[in-house]
Structure 1
Amino acid sequence: MAANVNPTVRRRRLGSELRKLREAKGMTAEEVATRLLVSQSKISRLENGRRSISQRDVRDLCQVYEVQDERVVESLMTMAKESRQRGWWHAFGDIPYSVYIGLEAEAASVRNYESLIIPGLLQTRAYAEAAISGGQPEATPAEVEKRTEVRLKRQVRISDAESPLRFWAVIDESALRRVVGNRAIMREQLDHLAELSTWPHVTVQVLPYEIGAHPGMSGTFSILEFHDDADSSVVYLEGVTSDLYLEKEPDVRLYTVMYEHLRALALSPEQTREKIVQVAKEYAR
């Protein structure tokens, strides 16, 4: 597999192409499932990219949709083969949010809102370890170390000199005030955050306590956008036992408008940097 082939994105793109073929044929997912003697949920999972797609699945679906162009079939078969390859994150074993990591690895930009914690892409090692162990009290030291390494490896997208990830972060002030680990860890973390906020492709804004109620109080979320127009934007909502990915245009638009409201309410990037430095000094005292 070529180094720049992302299996998660390939699977998602392939699912989108298969859905277009089904819709062009005027068939429902239920009708396709009946023809192939499989469950309707399998067809849905194949189309939304949440399930691995085999070349046999592609062949069978192309037959149902009566795809005559062999070049189209061959292209879809190649995508199916690539989608079954393993991303770098698979080397770390079972990672709960591996689908998100795959999308993040290919994203052109991420807009992230965090209410209680510093965003993972902007965390120091010490802060990440403390956050993971505190949030996963049943995790063993080995599991905490593994998840910390994954989080730090994700940060390569931020520091990539050739194609850095464009990252916007709106952070509630409570994330600056909540002591994760200890005061020394928080001082180091906020110094690091202030430094990253000066990078041209990283924008950090803080929502101060003074603004009161705001649209982000329902929970944290991320909006991922991609270079290729064939890959629609995704809203990611992290859950305790499962994650939610929203791809329908009305849903993405709703969260995009919500994010713009949050940015408008937040301190400017310059004011935010001053705020971070101020709180960091408080930890130093």
Structure 2
Amino acid sequence: MITDAESATPALCRLQLGRELRQLRQEAELTSTQVVRKLLCSPSKLTRLEMGENAVVETADVMALCEIYQAAPEKRALLLGYAAVTKTKKDWWQSPEYRPAIAPSFKAYLGLEATAQALHNYEGEFVPGLLQTEDYVRAIHQRAHEGLSHDEIDRLVAVRMTRQEALHRESAPLKFAAIINEAVLYRQVGGAAVMRAQVRHMAELATHPAVRVQVVPYKTGAHAGMNGAFTLLRFDDAQSIVYLENLGGASVTRRRADVTLYEEAFTDLQILAVGPQESLGMIREAIKEH
């Protein structure tokens, strides 16, 4: 639970508010259908509130739900405080500096990433985003978005760099488990100097207490990640979510069967990949190649 709502980010406040509202509904032994009838709203609105998906939470909605659930005065004050933060503060990706560089679908992902307890990521083609250097990010975007101006590229790079702050936040840093194909270590994105700095940076981060990096060697052969990269977002008391990204766009799924499929794939990859220490040795060897 957030102990100081005023100092918390809107994303965390939305998440905690959703958890608290869901718990109050369950304690009141009410179904979602019963609540939406009393609240005179759509089922999707209640779902978004309980999942922390609304960018702004109206205090009137919180007050009405607290009345339905007969919440204690102290609990009502706490939840109204969370709602107030969502109306008076903005998450970093909502600021004018970053907004033009972020697609609407990616904003939803950023909200999830900002509140996740852990991130499990498999990448077969490039260094995971949270481990990338600025020059490496720039080289990727210059190749992938050849029509963009320097200013637009700068904004995309700034978004990636800001996301990495989650690994270093003072309160509960994001736990990041990354598995990469060995090819990632040798693909010269941006040239030898950029790659040398990038691989060295990854070696440094691999020793961070919140980061675990494993490499799938060439000799492993066929494996569960050959269908493409994926990210699993894990939460303290909510179902994990899968994030997929490709040339056609990005998608998020909570479907239990899909999540289970990717959880099993990541577990298989963890078993097939060499351990963190041996992986670190492979990363350090790759530095010499560049």
Deviations 1:214-240 (A, max 9, x none): 2223433334456xx5x4363341335
TM-score between the two structures when normalised by the length of structure 1:
0.80
Where does residue 267 of structure 1 map in the other structure?
Answer: 274
Equivalent of 1:59, from 63, 87, 93?
63
Structure 2 gaps of 5+ residues are: none
Inter-CA distance 8–136: structure 2 relative to 1 (3 Å threshold): farther
Instruction: State the SS of the aligned residue for 2:177.
Output: strand
- 1:200 offset after TM fit, Å? 4.2
CA distance in 1, matches of 2:142, 2:46: 38
Q: Is the CA contact 1:128–1:148 (under 8 Å) kept in the aligned structure 2?
A: yes
Superposed CA deviations along residues 2-29 of structure 1, whole A, max 9, x for unmatched, are: 6740211221222232233334445443
Which residue of the other structure, out of 146, 149, 157, is the alignment partner of 2:158? 149
Q: 1:187 to 1:66 in 2, by over 3 A?
A: closer
Aligned to 2:200: 191
What CA distance in whole angstroms lies between the structure 2 residues aligned with 1:115 and 1:140? 28
| 8 Å contact kept, 1:220–1:237 | no
- Note closer, same or farther for the CA distance 1:37–1:126 as it changes in structure 2 (3 Å cut): same
How many residues in Structure 1 have an aligned counterpart in Structure 2? 278
> Is the contact made by 1:113 and 1:169 (CA closer than 8 Å) also made in structure 2?
yes
Counterpart position of 2:228: 219
| Residue of structure 2 equivalent to 1:11 | 14
Deviation at 1:241, TM superposition (A): 3.7
d(CA) in 2 for partners of 1:236 and 1:140?
Answer: 32
User: Structure 1 residues 242, 161: CA separation in 2 closer, same or farther (over 3 Å shift)?
Assistant: closer
1:100-132 per-position Cα deviation (integer Å, ceiling 9, x unaligned): 434444555433222221011211111011123
Query: What SS is found at the alignment partner of 1:217?
Result: coil
* Alignment partners' CA distance in 2, 1:4 and 1:245: 30
**Is 1:232 matched up with 2:238?**
yes
Give the aligned residue type for 1:234.
Answer: S
The amino acid that maps onto 2:280 is R
CA distance in 1, matches of 2:225, 2:35: 40
Matched, 1:173 2:179: no
Moved more, 17-26 or 54-63: 17-26
What are the within-5 Å matches in structure 2 for residues 69-218 of structure 1? 69-84=72-87, 85-91=89-95, 92-94=98-100, 95-96=102-103, 97-159=106-168, 164-218=173-227
Provide the residue aligned with 1:243 in structure 2.
Answer: 251
CA deviations 1:73-121 (Å, max 9, x no partner) are 2222111112332123322225343344344445554332222210112
Instruction: Check conservation: 2:234, 2:241, Cα contact below 8 A.
Output: no
Deviation at 1:265, TM superposition (A): 0.6
8 Å CA contact retained: 1:67, 1:73: no
Change over 3 Å in CA distance of 1:66–1:198 after alignment to 2: closer
**What TM-score do you get using the length of structure 2 for normalisation?**
0.79
Tell whether the 8 Å contact from 2:119 to 2:232 is kept in structure 1 after alignment: yes
Q: For the residues of structure 2 that align with 1:155 and 1:136, how far apart are their CA atoms?
A: 22
Distance 2:277 2:69 in 1: 58
Give 1:126's aligned amino acid: D
Once the two structures are overlaid, the 10-residue window that deviates more, 160-169 or 190-199, is: 160-169
* Per-residue deviation, 1:43: 2.1
Q: CA RMSD in A?
A: 3.1
Asked if 1:40 corresponds to 2:40, the answer is no
Taking every aligned residue pair, what percent have the same amino acid on both sides? 36
Provide the C-alpha distance between the structure 2 equivalents of 1:145 and 1:155, rounded to a whole number of angstroms.
16
Q: 2: CA distance between counterparts of 1:68 and 1:185?
A: 56
